[in-house]
Amino acid sequence: MKRAVVLLSGGIDSTTTLAIAITGGYEAYALSFDYGQRHQLETEAARRVATSLGAKDHRIAQIDLRVFGGSALTDDVAVPKRRSETEIAQGIPVTYVPARNTIFLAYALAWAEVISADDIFIGVNAIDYSGYPDCRPEFIEAFVKLADLGTKAGVEGRRFQIHAPLIKLSKAEIIRKGIELGVDFSLTHSCYDPKPDGLACGECDSCLLRLKGFREAGTNDPIRYATI
Amino acid sequence: MKRAVVLLSGGIDSTTTLAIAITGGYEAYALSFDYGQRHQLETEAARRVATSLGAKDHRIAQIDLRVFGGSALTDDVAVPKRRSETEIAQGIPVTYVPARNTIFLAYALAWAEVISADDIFIGVNAIDYSGYPDCRPEFIEAFVKLADLGTKAGVEGRRFQIHAPLIKLSKAEIIRKGIELGVDFSLTHSCYDPKPDGLACGECDSCLLRLKGFREAGTNDPIRYATI
């Protein structure tokens, strides 16, 4: 069975990506990060999802992104609330974490090399997250070149593949795809700024995109929100 | 004054690289990693060197490379001793850490983006470390492309430069260069497998290359060895 490392945050996109890898016949090695998120809900969701979908292994790497600052997701900067679709679509948001996907893919590559996997799955999406430079197809292609040049495996002739199966899908299409593959979205977590009791805020960009996605997919979001 | 992020392990190469960046007129932001080394001597050396050379800032990122295993530098695998020059030059050693320079450069890029630095210095060397794929010029070039595509700064038109000033120098040339720039090599640490009292073993690949370098540079290595 072919092995693949799958980056898993425990949100809608990475969960659907894990389901795609597994139904595609890969033995999935799920990789999550504890990077000084404001809350541990994200890694807990990743844990639930990995178990539920039958990942072969799941590791959580402790990494330190707070050491530099520079993002609302790692610093004490306010997460924007109730932004309109136009506002969300414009520019690079304060929730952008510098070089995050470069760091995540570098770790995925390290694990892939150790377990002799040639395939890495990442749930990046260039539609809803057009503001994030490291979610674009050309970024992924540049990483593949780097992976082949920068590893023992690459030098020995193995060729890495980075799969980004959601890159051109809308959130509604991702949700439909996930449901089709049997994903239980009640296990997932998306909110950037959850309430103390763990409920999603319903107002940050991530909640708004998620809710819109479920609306457009014509189905209910199974998680509970503080505001709804 | 132009800012640069300088990767600093506290060994001969990265210390000389830091001196090159500072004498080249950069305000240096030195970056080291605590990645589950078997010993803390490396980060202590980095601390001493950063202070001695006058880095503007020095941060040590805690990162987790043990989570995957796969290297004598992060696992309980024996570090090879007393290998001949031919043995050292051949193949990829067990001290190779999968995707290490990809991970280190990804972090350097994150910090560069936060402090608005366009320049990153890394002390890789393709002569003595020909066995490490991520020390080759083509790897560095591939990372520059990735950096421009994967960051907000790149999208906004800034162009990153990765400086690898030692890439074609021999160890002896690096040592001469360091001495010329006033580096105090007694502050540095290179050994992969130091003794409990902190003395360098004198027998691992890193010690052997260092000793050979000082010999060829025609000067004495100012650090103490357990075996000499």
Q: Which residue has the tokens 């694990």?
A: A111
Mutate to test the interface with A, among B65, B113, B151 (most CBs of A within 10 A): B151
Name chain B contacts of A60, Cβ cutoff 8 Å. 67
Q: Decide which of A47 and B68 is more confident.
A: A47
Q: Which residue has the tokens 């202590």?
A: B44
What is the spatial distance between Cα A101 and Cα A112, in angstroms, rounded to a whole number?
Answer: 16
Mutate to test the interface with A, among B68, B90, B130 (most CBs of A within 10 A): B68
Decide: residue A21, CB within 10 A, 0-12 exposed, 13-18 middle, 19+ buried: buried
What is the spatial distance between Cα B85 and Cα B70, in angstroms, rounded to a whole number?
Answer: 24
- A201: helix, strand or coil: coil
Q: Give the pair of three-digit tokens for residue B101.
A: 């320079």
List beta partners, residue B28: B4
Name chain B contacts of A97, Cβ cutoff 8 Å. 110
Give the model's pLDDT for residue A150: 87
Mutate to test the interface with B, among A43, A102, A160 (most CBs of B within 10 A): A102
Using CA coordinates, name the residue in chain A closest to B5.
Answer: A68
A174 Cα to chain B: minimum distance (Å): 23
Name chain B contacts of A149, Cβ cutoff 8 Å. 133-134, 136, 138-139, 142
Q: Other CB atoms closer than 10 Å to residue A204's CB: what's the count?
A: 24
B226 Cα to chain A: minimum distance (Å): 32
Among A188-192, B112-116, B132-136, B198-202, name the one with the lowest average pLDDT.
Answer: B132-136
Using CA coordinates, name the residue in chain A closest to B33.
Answer: A64
Give the model's pLDDT for residue A68: 80
Digit-coded pLDDT (tens) for A3-33: 999 999 999 999 999 999 999 999 999 999 9
Q: Decide which of A47 and A153 is more confident.
A: A47
Domain ranges within chain A, ordered by starting residue: 3-217
Give the model's pLDDT for residue B73: 67
Taking 3-state DSSP, the helix, strand and coil percentages for chain A, each rounded to the nearest 5, stand at: 40, 15, 45
Which residues 6+ apart lie within 8 Å of A196 measured at CB?
Answer: none
The pLDDT confidence band at residue B151, using thresholds 50, 70 and 90, is confident
Give the model's pLDDT for residue B180: 98
In this structure, chain A runs to a length of 228
Name chain B contacts of A65, Cβ cutoff 8 Å. 110
What is the spatial distance between Cα A165 and Cα A21, in angstroms, rounded to a whole number?
Answer: 9
Contact B98 A154 (CB under 8 A): no
Q: With a cut of 90, say whether residue B91 has pLDDT above it.
A: no
Strands across the sheet containing B57-62: B57-62, B27-34, B3-7, B119-121, B161-163
Q: With a cut of 70, say whether residue A73 has pLDDT above it.
A: no
The DSSP result for B32-100, as a single string, is EEES--S-SHHHHHHHHHHHHHT-SEEEEEEB--TTT--STTTSSPPPPBS--HHHHHSS--TT--TTH
Give, for A227, the enclosing helix (H) or strand (E): none
CATH of A3-217, one of 3.60.15.10, 2.70.98.40, 3.40.50.1820, 3.40.50.620: 3.40.50.620
Digit-coded pLDDT (tens) for B6-58: 999 999 999 999 999 999 999 999 999 987 666 688 899 999 999 999 999 99
What is the spatial distance between Cα B161 and Cα B141, in angstroms, rounded to a whole number?
Answer: 9
Q: Decide which of A173 and B74 is more confident.
A: A173
List beta partners, residue A121: A6, A163
Whole-number Cα distances in Å, A118 to A3, A101, B41, B143:
7, 18, 35, 20
Q: With a cut of 70, say whether residue B220 has pLDDT above it.
A: yes
What is the spatial distance between Cα A180 and Cα A172, in angstroms, rounded to a whole number?
Answer: 12
What is the spatial distance between Cα B125 and Cα B43, in angstroms, rounded to a whole number?
Answer: 20
Give the model's pLDDT for residue B54: 98
